[in-house]
């Protein structure tokens, strides 16, 4: 068995985190309290145990989404979708 990390953004799964601006990442308690006031996107990071012969390229997106559901640990990363003069935290 080996452990991999998958990232789910909207309805797609990838092995690398989608590129979003680092300055739009919400990571402090004050930032997270503002989630209801801002337009945000969520990228979920899943840590999954898989067999050694698992091949990411041969799995469909639906199979990867099901695999993510079996994960015992995940982290939600919140990003502000619009950063302009009015959305400064």
Percentage of the chain with pLDDT > 90? 42
- Is residue 57 in some structural domain? yes
- Is residue 88 in some structural domain? no
- Is residue 86 in some structural domain? no
- Is residue 61 in some structural domain? yes
CA angle 15, 81, 5 (to 5 degrees): 15
- Is residue 46 in some structural domain? yes
- Is residue 21 in some structural domain? yes
Per the confidence metrics, is the pTM higher than 0.85?
no
- Is residue 87 in some structural domain? no
Query: Model confidence over 22-39: pLDDT tens digits?
Result: 555 555 545 555 555 566
- Is residue 75 in some structural domain? yes
- Give the pLDDT of residue 86: 47
- Give the pLDDT of residue 11: 87
- Find the domain containing 32 and state its range: 2-80
| Strand order from edge to edge, sheet including 40-50 | 12-14, 2-9, 40-50, 73-80, 25-26
**What's the total number of domains in the chain?**
1
């Amino acid at each position: 068995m080996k452990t991999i990390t998958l990232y789910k953004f909207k309805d797609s799964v990838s092995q690398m985190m989608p590129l979003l601006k680092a300055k739009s990442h919400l990571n402090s308690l004050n930032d997270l309290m503002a989630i209801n006031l801002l337009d945000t996107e969520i990228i979920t990071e899943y840590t999954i145990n898989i067999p050694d012969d698992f091949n990411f390229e041969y799995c469909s997106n639906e199979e990867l989404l099901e695999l993510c559901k079996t994960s015992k640990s995940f982290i939600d990363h919140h990003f502000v979708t619009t950063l302009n003069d009015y959305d400064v935290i």
